[in-house]
Amino acid sequence: MQIIKTVAEARTWRAAKPRVALVPTMGNLHAGHLSLVAAARKIADHVVVSIFVNPLQFGPNEDLANYPRTFEADVAALEHAGVDAVFAPGVEEMYPAGGASATTVHVAGITEMLCGTSRPGHFDGVATVVTKLFNILTPDSALFGEKDYQQLAVVRRMAADLALPVVVEGGPTVREADGLAYSSRNAYLTPDERRRAVALSAAIDDVCARLAAGQQDFRSLEARGWAQLSDAGFDPDYFDIRDTDLAPATRQTTAFRVLAAGRLGRTRLIDNKGISRD
Ligand code: PAF
């Protein structure tokens, strides 16, 4: 497995490879990332995983400095998973003009709701770095976890709007035994918070079951989910029932996405699930 640190090396590695799949990550890899790698191996001849903690997508009071960095363990896991190359540039390689980028990518509308409301600028940072990774590695396909459902929707919309020559694929959320979605940020939870964190997926499951049973009062279902998070000690950010394009659900909606986010102590957790009914 080749470890690539520069844009020039990345371009050399990429040249003359027939089908390349990219799994973009910020490292601190877990079972969710590794499931994307396994899916990538099925659709491409060569798999490259990027590891880059992107400063552009962190707000001033967010966890950039403390974000877990576990490069050696990540490389060992990727080698074991059969990855062909790891692209792990430094900040100065990705943003040579300083810690930012004068040119950014903004996907209007879809970024101005849900996580975009409490994390202004976050999705511009994601869209910008993903565009840059696509330009550097020119993958045929790129895989993103459905756990970050809004991020996946933003990248899909960006790729469609800008006619980017890459197929964007989503991979299912991988969960721990009690239902908590794998996330690098789970590492911040104290043992007590970790026990209570299960309320996030449980509240979403509860609302999904009620939607499946035909309940239509979306506002009271959202309030119910919100209350379940509060009761478990979360400071909820949102609990929303949307359609699969993230528009608010209506009585005509048959395929729902239930999305929630909240803080448990100092840790912000997000999760979502889909439910369809005839
Ligand atoms: O989901 C992530 O880990 C990041 O947002 C991504 C897509 C790697 C961009 O930095």
Return the ligand 1 atom nearest residue 52 CA.
10
pLDDT of residue 191: 98
Domain 2-171, CATH class in plain words? alpha beta
Give the domain ranges of the chain: 2-171, 188-271
The stretch 164-182 carries a mean pLDDT of 98
Is 106 labeled as catalytic in the residue annotation? Answer: no
The pLDDT tens digits of the residues spanning 232-255 come to 999 999 999 999 999 999 999 999
- Residue 86's alpha-carbon distances to 5, 37, 78, 152, 258, in angstroms, are 8, 12, 8, 21, 34
Share of the chain above pLDDT 70, in %: 99
Give 98's pLDDT tier (boundaries 50, 70, 90).
Answer: confident
CA pair distance 278, 84, nearest whole angstrom = 43
Residue with CA closest to ligand 1 atom 3: 25
CATH number of 188-271: 3.30.1300.10
Ligand 1 centroid from CA 160, angstroms: 19
Ligand 1 centroid from CA 123, angstroms: 10
Ligand 1 centroid from CA 254, angstroms: 30
Average pLDDT, the chain: 97
Residue with CA closest to ligand 1 atom 8: 25
Cβ atoms < 10 Å from Cβ of 75: 19
Judge whether 123 and 116 are in contact, CB under 8 Å: yes
Q: Which of 148, 154, 268 to mutate for ligand 1's pocket (most ligand atoms within 8 Å of CB)?
A: 148
Q: Which of 151, 152, 156 to mutate for ligand 1's pocket (most ligand atoms within 8 Å of CB)?
A: 151
Ligand 1 centroid from CA 152, angstroms: 10
pLDDT of residue 99: 67
Q: Which residues line ligand 1 (CB under 6 A)?
A: 24-26, 54, 57, 126, 129-130, 148, 151
Q: pTM of the entire structure?
A: 0.97
The pLDDT tens digits of the residues spanning 184-240 come to 999 999 999 999 999 999 999 999 999 999 999 999 999 999 999 999 999 999 999
With 90 as the cut, is the pLDDT of residue 100 above it? no
The stretch 44-64 carries a mean pLDDT of 96
Q: Of 39, 40, 64, 43, which is closest to residue 54 (Cα–Cα)?
A: 64
Q: Of 249, 189, 201, 246, which is closest to residue 228 (Cα–Cα)?
A: 201
Domain pair 2-171 / 188-271, same fold: no
With 90 as the cut, is the pLDDT of residue 128 above it? yes
| Tokens encoding 156 | 């899909």
pLDDT of residue 102: 87
The stretch 112-139 carries a mean pLDDT of 98
